[in-house]
């Protein structure tokens, strides 16, 4: 699920695919099969909406980059890495909600069961 902030354009195709672009160029694409891709060159920050949702958090330094692995209560996982200049090198997640803000920040939170 993506919640998009101000000044974004949304394009939905007949097969159910969707793309959202912020005015500064960040883009999230959801395919008809439900897979996401993101243009990470435009993402300014990766964040967590509520640290109470985090089960574990690991940080590893490899060469000139820092790799982060976050496991959320339930079954969500977030993986991302930055280089020493602060550029996002990779980003991936499973079973999480996220918000793409107007400032090109991705904020992740755990999925909630309908019964909660």
* pLDDT tens per residue, range 25-51: 888 888 888 888 888 888 999 999 999
Q: Mean pLDDT throughout 8-28?
A: 84
C-alpha to C-alpha distance for 68 and 76, rounded to whole angstroms: 14
Strand order in the sheet with 36-38: 8-12, 18-22, 27-30, 36-38
Supply the pLDDT for residue 115. 41
pLDDT of 110 over the 90 cut: yes
Q: Say which residue, 33 or 61, is predicted with more confidence.
A: 61
pLDDT of 107 over the 70 cut: yes
Average pLDDT for the chain: 86
């Amino acid at each position: 699920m993506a919640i998009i902030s101000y000044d974004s354009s949304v394009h939905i195709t007949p097969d159910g695919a969707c793309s959202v672009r912020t005015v500064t160029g960040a883009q999230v694409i959801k395919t008809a099969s439900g897979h996401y891709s993101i243009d990470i060159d435009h993402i300014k920050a990766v964040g967590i909406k509520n640290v109470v949702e985090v089960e574990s958090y690991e940080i590893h330094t490899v060469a000139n980059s820092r790799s982060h692995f976050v496991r959320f209560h339930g079954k969500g996982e977030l993986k991302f890495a930055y280089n020493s200049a602060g550029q996002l090198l990779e980003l991936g997640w499973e079973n999480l909600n996220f918000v793409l803000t107007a400032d090109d920040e991705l904020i992740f939170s755990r999925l909630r069961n309908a019964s909660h």
